[in-house]
Amino acid sequence: MGLPPFLKFLTPILGAPVSDDIHAMGHVRVEAWKNGRLVEVVYDGKNFILDQGLTASRNVLIGPNGGGFVGSIFRMAIGDGGCPAGQLFSPKQPDVTWPSRTGLYHEVLRQDISVFTTPTTTSMRFVGSFDSVSVDPTSFSLADRVINEACLVVGDGVLVVGGDKKQINKSPPDTVDPDEVIMSVKTFKSTPFDPLDNVTITVTWTISVVR
């Protein structure tokens, strides 16, 4: 079984055949910036990705049994549905429905990865930098214009650093390719993201592959 394109750098380490004891774990850091100054570290901690071994990793990344889905992580998305109504500082927690989630609770902005690096031989780091001035006010679901959830997006598009932006919940909505699927979701406490305030939210997502 082959590795998807963005995991090819692991081939020398994993060897062949690849056993089923490989796990993908993540770390997420969310920062709020304004006028070039760090305002707040909104979240900085572990993010569960997969703990079912190579089979589950394959199913998420390249489809069940490796059946035809060949993509890469090339976008991130952020949203404002990650906290229950009226509880903006209490993020929703993972439950049994999360593995089958196909999107954020309410997506506000989706765009290409801003930075991609491989900090170690068994890890990859994706950075998304989102500017509030890019958001149409109709994209929000809350009167309080905030961000409290993020996800990685896998698709067969070409990563253009800092490139394409989509707003699927604005009026009228943008469209995205049907092959785009999420790899992981992280909710966190709400942080302001009003288009009038020129705020930048930076999400740094590091995925490490371990045995």
pTM confidence score: 0.83
Predicted local confidence at residue 1, as pLDDT: 45
Q: Which of 113, 136, 122, 134 lies closest to 203, judged by CA? A: 113
Residue 11 main-chain phi, psi, to 5 deg: -55, -45
Q: Which of 186, 209, 188 lies closest to 51, judged by CA? A: 209
- Structural element, H or E, at residue 14: helix 11-14
pLDDT in tens, 174-198: 998 887 888 788 999 999 999 999 9
Separation CA 76–CA 70 (nearest Å) = 18
Q: Show me where the domains of the chain are located.
A: 5-210
Lowest mean pLDDT among 74-78, 144-148, 180-184, 192-196: 180-184
pLDDT in tens, 96-134: 777 667 789 999 999 988 888 888 877 888 899 999 999
